[in-house]
Amino acid sequence: KDAFSFRENSIVVTIPFNRIQTVWNKVGIKVGDTDSRKKLNPRRQTILSEMRDNPNITIAELASFFSISETAIENNLAFLRENGYIVRVGSKKTGYWKVID
């Protein structure tokens, strides 16, 4: 309605941002304000536990612990990173895992 104002040589468009905020609030209520991270299966919970106990644990050590391939561990670590459960601090060689609670 009041978004357009006509002048002698121009048209001014005013975008009503309060309407966008209203839509955002409705979406937030529908989606929910709960923890947006996905739930963990038992293996991923154990990986986090091992990382809390030993932040310097390697992919090879985790693979040996679970008797699975390093690729499977890398896939689990990718999931944990993408969903905000862990962060790698430092380099691959000298860094460590930080578990985010």
Q: What is the pTM of this model?
A: 0.63
In a domain, 36, yes or no: no
Report the distance separating Cα 99 and Cα 26, nearest Å: 32
Tell me which residue range forms the domain holding 76. 42-99
In sequence order, what are the beta bridge partners of 37? none
In a domain, 48, yes or no: yes
In a domain, 32, yes or no: no
How high is the pLDDT of residue 37? 72
In a domain, 83, yes or no: yes
CATH of the domain at 74: 1.10.10.10
**Contact of 35 with 20, CB cutoff 8 Å:** no
How high is the pLDDT of residue 56? 94
In a domain, 10, yes or no: no
In a domain, 9, yes or no: no
How high is the pLDDT of residue 34? 54
How high is the pLDDT of residue 1? 54
Number of separate domains in the chain:
1
Consecutive 10-residue runs of the chain (101 residues): their mean pLDDT? 78 69 53 66 94 94 95 95 92 91 79
